[in-house]
């Protein structure tokens, strides 16, 4: 480690070669990070020395030329229910004849269909209509986060003049859930979008870069039946590995945004520094982007970092959220980034259901980033950054800011 000549306490990246003239960017251009202090359960970062990338050229172009922004104490947002209410069941039949089921409701994105009315051949003798059927038969009844559950059965038949009371439909998919990859496929390269958001097909695609990497489905998962496993085979100037291509998120969530997913690192060494969990942008020279890296090695103690910018790859340009600790390997971790509306607003980072960082000076949203052409899970636009090494599961994008209670619900979901 080489101390900063200015006496600021800043150091060069451990893995960087000596500084010297070249044509590309590398991690040796990075400023160091300010010390992290804690206040209760909240993370508070003192003001950092914000400056652009000007320390000098080095050997490899990568994303470690970025610095660090201030953060503040964690605040929870107001609770907002996730699922909508379901449709009603069918009306009961009259005077001994079973009635037809009612039309389905639209609870969230789909309540259950109406049930058939009950037969009433004599007083108080038969059950009324059953509730609606489940939109997704694989879902658990009452799971308001995932999909609609079937309605409950109607009451018993009344007098000979009327049938049973209609059943009630189940809760529906949250209409603000605009992208949802369960990764429950068992084979192939397609990734189905289960959001039912009405925005059209938003399926993703598994792919590989370089030679020897892989992207496949695995039963080593956290939610559902499968997860996507991304394996790397080489790093450095010609990285290789697997990744997922997704649609541009700008049109899905231009304002308020929540991104949530499960992550399992296969390793947590210097070889994984700057690997991306996701990156949405237009290339390494473009000024507008947002990303989540598992290991930001220009900081101590190599934190999980979210960053968003529309003015370039500098410390001052990025608005950030960082974990106060290293993300451990071989364990599933739930991560959520919450960006409410307004400007300025308090951006929030959750790790395993708990708020670990906030930045109250954030102003940027996807509408400020604009249209992006390189939208990846597990891959960086910087050629020297390694591809993600590990597994991802239950990736979600909401077009609103989820509450702390809702993040906890996603964390406890199985």
Query: What is the reported pLDDT for 239?
Result: 82
CB-based contacts of 165: which residues, under 8 Å, 6+ apart? 92, 128, 129, 154, 155
Q: Which residues of the chain have pLDDT under 70?
A: 1-62, 64-172, 198-200, 236
Query: What is the reported pLDDT for 65?
Result: 52
CB-based contacts of 120: which residues, under 8 Å, 6+ apart? 92, 93, 94, 95, 96, 126, 157, 158, 159, 160, 162, 163, 164
Q: How far apart are CA 20 and CA 207, in angstroms?
A: 35
Task: Identify whether the C-beta of residue 146 lies closer than 8 Å to the C-beta of residue 136.
Answer: yes
3-state class (DSSP) for residue 29: helix
Q: How far apart are CA 335 and CA 318, in angstroms?
A: 20
Query: What is the reported pLDDT for 238?
Result: 78
φ and ψ at residue 321, rounded to 5 degrees = -135, 130
**65, β-bridge pairs:** none
Token reading at 227:
């997860």
Q: How far apart are CA 58 and CA 69, in angstroms?
A: 23
CA angle, corner 295, sides to 215 and 190, nearest 5?
A: 20
What is this structure's pTM? 0.67
Neighbours of 326 (CB within 10 A): 15
In terms of Cβ atoms closer than 10 Å to its own Cβ (0-12, 13-18, 19+), residue 373 is exposed
Q: How far apart are CA 84 and CA 218, in angstroms?
A: 32
Q: Looking at domain 177-412, does it have CATH number 2.20.25.90?
A: no
Q: Enumerate the domain spans of the chain.
A: 85-173, 177-412
Q: How far apart are CA 294 and CA 284, in angstroms?
A: 18
3-state class (DSSP) for residue 258: strand
């Amino acid at each position: 480690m080489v101390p900063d000549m200015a006496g600021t306490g800043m150091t060069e990246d451990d893995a960087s070669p000596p500084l010297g003239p070249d044509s590309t960017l590398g991690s040796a251009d990075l400023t160091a990070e300010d010390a992290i202090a804690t206040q209760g359960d909240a993370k508070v970062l003192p003001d950092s020395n914000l400056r652009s990338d000007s320390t000098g050229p080095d050997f490899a172009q990568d994303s470690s030329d970025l610095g660090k922004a201030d953060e503040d104490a964690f605040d929870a947002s107001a609770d907002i229910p996730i699922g909508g209410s379901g449709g009603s069941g069918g009306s009961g039949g009259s005077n001994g004849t079973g009635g037809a089921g009612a039309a389905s409701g639209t609870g969230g994105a789909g309540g259950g269909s109406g049930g058939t009315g009950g037969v009433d051949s004599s007083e108080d003798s038969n059950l009324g209509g059953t509730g609606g059927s489940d939109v997704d038969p694989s879902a658990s009844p009452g799971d308001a986060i995932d999909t609609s559950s079937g309605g409950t059965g109607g009451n018993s038949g009344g007098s000979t003049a009327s049938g049973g009371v209609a059943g009630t439909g189940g809760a529906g998919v949250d209409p603000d859930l605009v992208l949802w990859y369960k990764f429950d496929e068992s084979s192939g390269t397609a990734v189905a979008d289960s959001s039912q958001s009405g925005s059209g097909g938003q399926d993703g695609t598994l792919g590989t870069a370089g030679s020897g990497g892989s992207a496949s489905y695995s039963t080593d998962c956290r939610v559902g039946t499968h997860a996507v496993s991304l394996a790397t085979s080489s790093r450095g100037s010609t990285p290789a590995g697997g990744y997922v291509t997704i649609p541009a998120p700008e049109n899905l969530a231009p304002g308020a945004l929540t991104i949530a997913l499960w992550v399992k690192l296969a390793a947590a060494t210097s070889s994984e520094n700057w690997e991306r969990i996701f990156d949405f942008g237009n290339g390494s020279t473009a000024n507008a982007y947002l990303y989540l890296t598992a290991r930001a090695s220009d900081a101590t103690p190599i934190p999980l970092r979210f960053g968003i910018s529309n003015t370039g790859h500098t410390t001052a340009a990025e608005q950030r959220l960082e974990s106060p600790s290293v993300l451990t390997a071989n364990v599933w971790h739930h991560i959520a980034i919450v960006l409410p509306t307004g400007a300025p607003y308090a951006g929030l980072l959750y790790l395993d259901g708990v708020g670990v960082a906030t930045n109250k000076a954030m102003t940027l949203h996807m509408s400020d980033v604009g249209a992006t052409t390189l939208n990846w899970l597990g891959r960086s636009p910087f050629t020297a950054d390694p591809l993600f090494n590990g597994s991802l599961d239950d990736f979600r994008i909401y077009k609103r800011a989820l509450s702390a209670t809702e993040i906890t619900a996603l964390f406890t979901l199985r």
